[in-house]
A and B are shown apart, each in its own frame.
Chain A
Amino acid sequence: MAALSNKSDQEIKDLLDEYGIKHGPVVDTTRPLYEKKLKEAMAKAKVTVTKPSPDRTFYREDQEEVTYVTCQTPVRSEGPSGDGKPYMRSRPEYSERDRVDDKPYSRPEYSERNRVDDKPYSRPEYSERNRVDDKPYSRPEYSEIDRVDDKPYSRSKLEYRERDRVDDKPYSRSKPEYRERDRVDDKLYSRSRPEYSSGRQYIDEPHVYNTPSSSSSYSKPTPVMKSGGVVKKENTTSSGRLIPLWIQFLVFLIVAGFLYFIFTNMESAESSPFNKIQ
């Protein structure tokens, strides 16, 4: 190929178009830039011609059959639902997808699909499908995937990153009637309970903690305070607090005590600040 610098502007322009390089007019000041670009493009073209790269897209065809690990804990506080999923999970973005049987999924946000029994249903956003026992909870958009079928939760989460799984992470939810965290299948889902504050990592002193994840029995069934509206937090683990609860209480008491101390020690305001100094 003739030297680029010997070509005319028009030829350079044609070459640029040929290589699909976006460009402006070829003038004195832009010419060196375009020549350089053409050189790079030519070199690259030559390289690719000589070395055809095998382009294989690998994708993981996980044909893993569903191998559910049924975690059935003998002790399970059966909630309202037989398999104990009384809470409703409202996890907007929770995508519980990869359930055990995870087919070679390539689902952007699919929720739960391959269930063991492979129900052919496809729910737009909630893929809780085949619950055997049909939990009474309503999941707005929860994509809790499939229960295998009346296993309280059997999933072999291979890539299931649902944190709280089977072994019932100490996820505390404020469910009045539901006391447990340790559900067998213990999905850690954040309930869309406004007052639920378990699993909150932040110290929220004024809020009533509904459940220190460790306490299985809820002392406050009623939503004491809607903390900031519905907090859909799905705590992955019951003990997901950054700062232990007792410390939070302690700090709260200290601050309250301090304020009280200040208050009581304040001098009473004089009725008339303008007393003449004798």
Chain B
Amino acid sequence: MSSTSQKHKEFVAEPMGEKPVNALAGIGEVLGKRLEEKGFDKAYVVLGQFLVLKKDEELFRDWLKDTCGANVKQQGDCYGCLREWCDSFL
């Protein structure tokens, strides 16, 4: 049994298209808002950042923490979600 959330499963099940940044696992309303303010208004922009950071976990986690103040769990969820999405669709 995986320990991923429903949100995660939904996100990695299909191409993200124009999904908002809230659709990412680990990113809720508050964090989503902060990201949008910084210019990351769509999930694919965060994906872009993830890729620019070479899909490195530590760098992405740090970046997420600095940008929107995500805690460890949220960082992990978001990272896992994006990584799995990339494994399937990239």
Contacts and interface: CB of A to CB of B under 8 A. Distances in A.
Given A22-B59, A23-B59, A24-B59, A33 B52 contact: no
Given A24-B52, A30-B63, A32-B66, 8 more contacts: A23-B54, A25-B52, A27-B52, A29-B52, A30-B52, A33-B59, A33-B62, A36-B62
Contacts of A23: 54, 59
A37 interface: yes
Interface string A68-104: 0000000000000000000000000000000000000
Contacts of B49: 29-30
Interface of B: 49, 52-54, 56, 58-59, 62-63, 66
Contacts of B58: 22
A37 B52 contact: no
Nearest to A29: B49
Contacts of A25: 52
Interface string A23-50: 1110101101100110000000000000
B54 A24 contact: yes
Interface string A7-28: 0000000000000001111010
A36 B59 CA distance: 11
A33 B66 contact: yes
Nearest to A26: B52
Contact of B53 (A30, A32, A36): A30
Contacts of B66: 32-33, 36
Nearest to B50: A24
Contacts of B54: 22-24
A27 B54 CA distance: 13
Contacts of A27: 52
A32 B67 CA distance: 10
A13 to B, nearest CB: 13
Nearest to B40: A29
Which residue, of A23, A24, A36, has the highest number of chain B Cβ atoms within 10 A? A24
A37 B62 contact: yes
B57 to A, nearest CB: 10
For the complex of A and B, the 6 pairs showing the least CB-CB separation, nearest first, are A24-B54, A24-B53, A33-B63, A24-B52, A29-B49, A30-B52
A188 to B, nearest CB: 38
Contacts of B56: 22, 24
A47 B56 CA distance: 27
A29 B59 CA distance: 12
A30 B63 CA distance: 8
Contacts of A33: 53, 59, 62-63, 66
Contacts of A29: 49, 52
Contacts of A30: 49, 52-53, 63
Nearest to A37: B62
A25 B56 CA distance: 12
A26 to B, nearest CB: 9
Contacts of B53: 24, 30, 33
Nearest to B56: A22
6 contacts: A27-B52, A29-B52, A30-B52, A30-B63, A33-B59, A33-B62
